[in-house]
Amino acid sequence: MVRALLIVTGFLFAARPGTAQQSYYLGSDLSYVNQMEDCGAVYREDGVPKDPYQIFADQGTNVVRLRLWVDPSWQNSLSQPAGVKDQYSDFEDVREAIQRSKDAGMQVLLDFHYSDFWADPGRQVIPARWASVGYDTQALSDSVYQYTHRTLTRLDAEGLMPELVQVGNETNPGMLLYLGMNSQYEGTGFVSGDWDRQASLFNAGIRAVREAGAASSIDPKIVIHFANPAGVVDRVRRLQNHGITDFDIIGLSFYYTWHGHTVSLASAYVRGIG
């Protein structure tokens, strides 16, 4: 039986039985904060300018979720105000955000999208630098492992190891499914929905997190993430049936506009995970 359920700005956590955990995570996704500040946004508390990370920490937030894209070079073509960087949600931006989060006393959930763009149920696009091995499961799995391990090792060397690591984003159909996107930002060039392939990819990321954590003073909890609480039991069973079992937390995107469930019903779905 699931021991905990948490809502974090449209994100649900369900800890697996036997998972050591703090009593409650109160989180916020602050992936846009650095970019907003560079664009001139000023965050205030009671009308007084204040560091946004500290605002959240002072109001009880104890974990910050941050997305990481492999190479979001598509941003280079955007028209940006002076002083705005070419790319955000890349390694450098995430490193800065992790530092600021930890300086404010909060933990970090690092969300590996394994894409150059938002990954969601209809858009799990292979990063451009990995496209040449999209049909080679072993080579693509090795890319996932090397990238994940290298990223975490670099962060750990600077005292920035995240406390939680999300292996994939909204992975209902799996991850790394398409070779490209069309003008409507939909995945194109479908590679394969085979779940033996998915097992290799997920387990490569999971193994990288475990090995990087074993060499660090912080051993991150591993999060597997889906969109929509409905159907979560079947999705978890599918993971387990294909040998994807070494994770600690199920994360669920919950947006009322699209998913339409009450929090109580969402909780009931999650309690079905045993």
30 Cβ neighbours under 8 A, 6+ residues apart: 52, 53, 56, 64, 65, 66, 97, 101
pLDDT score recorded for residue 8: 40
> Which two tokens mark 72?
């979001």
In this prediction, what percent of the chain has a pLDDT beyond 70? 85
pLDDT score recorded for residue 9: 40
pLDDT score recorded for residue 184: 85
- pLDDT (mean) for 177-189: 92
The matching CATH number, chosen from 3.20.20.80, 3.40.366.10, 3.40.50.720, 3.30.559.10, for 5-271 is 3.20.20.80
Of residues 98 and 254, more confidence is placed in 98
> Which two tokens mark 14?
């369900």
| Cut 0.75: pTM above it | yes
Considering all CA atoms of the chain, what is the largest pairwise distance in Å, rounded to the nearest integer?
55
Q: Which residues of 154-175 are buried (b: 16+ CB within 10 A; e: fewer)?
A: ebbeeebbbbbbbbbbbbbbbb
- pLDDT (mean) for 33-45: 95
> Which two tokens mark 90?
């890349």
pLDDT score recorded for residue 274: 55
How distant is the alpha carbon of residue 248 from its chain centre? 14
Query: Between vectors from CA 224 to CA 264 and to CA 255, what angle results, nearest 5°?
Result: 40
> Which two tokens mark 134?
């999209």
pLDDT score recorded for residue 243: 98
Reported for 44-51, long-range contacts at CB under 8 A and 24+ positions apart, including other chains, are 51/100, 51/104
Q: What is the pLDDT of residues 148-172, one digit of tens each?
A: 999 999 999 999 999 999 999 999 9
How distant is the alpha carbon of residue 59 from its chain centre? 23
